[in-house]
């Protein structure tokens, strides 16, 4: 496998009127082509900030990010993003929202109009929404809207998928279904995925490798050596799953416990 993403010595500050807040310090991480990475951390640790830099929306104070050996200098169609809040165009139908992704695709010139339509329909079918192609976002449930966002991201035909806690506002049952869907589609379409989450079970179900963040820093990376497909009900109680789960809980909560202890001791 070759390096798809190289994150090198990233520092980032949020600058206000009277104060500068250091959000990231000395972040280094390589992501292999086709690898599914989950970045796990509590709120405010900097994981979404890192994703925004990877997407080109924020510029680091120092350091650089390389994709296929080329420095990231802004946003681009080589990276598809799925946000927590769906971010659909309310005045476009399901099909039109997904077609928007297809029109922005770097590979659009390779396909005829008929082929683009066929591919758009295949992505809509992949997320189970063929019967809703002519509906508008306000006519869809939250889970259905997120499925549209995933289909639109796939239609962009990018090698890299960036997902910022996309299932955190969705009910638990549907969340499991969408986790299985994104895992299946990422493998089928050979995507390199960076997925932000604060949910330990979600990270284990999805990731080839979990990157645990503490405030400003990467604390630890843990390989998830479990076969795909992963179904939570089939994994819970198995020794390897429980071992990984304990390791992540220990790493995830250690700093939270230390911070609480310091505050209580003051």
Task: Quick: pLDDT tens for 32-52.
Answer: 999 999 999 888 889 999 999
pLDDT in tens, 219-240: 999 999 998 888 888 888 889 9
Dihedral (Cα; 31, 35, 40, 46), 10-degree rounding: 30
The region of weakest confidence among 35-44, 99-108, 254-263 is 254-263
pLDDT in tens, 47-76: 999 999 999 999 999 999 999 999 998 888
Put simply, whether the predicted model's pTM sits higher than 0.85 gets the answer: yes
pLDDT band at 265 (very low <50, low <70, confident <90, very high): very low
pLDDT band at 106 (very low <50, low <70, confident <90, very high): low
Radius of gyration (Cα) for the chain, nearest Å? 19
The sign of the CA dihedral 182, 184, 185, 190 is: positive
Distances (CA, A) of 132 to 96, 100, 148, 180, 182: 12, 17, 10, 21, 19
Helix (H, G, I), strand (E, B) or coil at 63: strand
Helix (H, G, I), strand (E, B) or coil at 213: strand
- What's the confidence (pLDDT) of residue 30? 96
- What's the confidence (pLDDT) of residue 257? 53
- What's the confidence (pLDDT) of residue 263? 43
- What's the confidence (pLDDT) of residue 68? 93
pLDDT band at 266 (very low <50, low <70, confident <90, very high): very low
Average pLDDT score over the chain: 88
Give me the domains of the chain, ranges plus CATH numbers.
Answer: 1-78+160-233 (3.40.50.300), 84-158 (no CATH)
């Amino acid at each position: 496998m070759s390096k798809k993403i190289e994150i090198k010595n990233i520092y980032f500050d949020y600058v206000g009127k009277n104060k500068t807040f250091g959000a990231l310090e000395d972040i280094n991480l390589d992501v292999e082509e086709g690898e599914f990475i989950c970045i796990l951390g509590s709120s405010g640790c900097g994981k979404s900030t890192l994703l925004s830099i990877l997407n080109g929306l924020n510029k680091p104070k120092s350091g650089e990010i390389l994709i296929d050996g080329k420095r990231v200098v802004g946003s681009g169609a080589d990276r598809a993003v799925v946000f927590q809040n769906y971010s659909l165009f309310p005045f476009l139908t399901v099909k039109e929202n997904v077609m928007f992704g297809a029109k922005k695709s770097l590979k659009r010139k390779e396909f005829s109009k008929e082929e683009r339509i066929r591919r758009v329909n295949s992505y809509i079918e992949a997320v189970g929404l063929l019967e809703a192609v002519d509906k508008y976002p306000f006519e869809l449930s939250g889970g259905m809207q997120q499925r549209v966002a995933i289909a639109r991201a796939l239609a962009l035909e990018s090698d890299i998928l960036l997902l910022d806690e996309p299932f955190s506002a969705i009910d638990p049952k549907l969340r499991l279904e969408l986790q299985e869907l994104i895992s299946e589609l990422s493998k089928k379409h050979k995507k390199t995925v960076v997925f932000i989450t604060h949910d330990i079970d979600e990270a284990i179900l999805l990731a080839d490798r979990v990157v645990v963040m503490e405030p400003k820093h990467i604390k630890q990376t843990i390989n998830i050596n479990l076969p795909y497909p992963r179904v939570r009900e089939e994994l819970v109680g198995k020794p390897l799953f429980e071992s990984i789960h304990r390791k992540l809980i220990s790493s995830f909560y250690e700093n939270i416990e230390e911070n609480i202890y310091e505050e209580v001791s003051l």
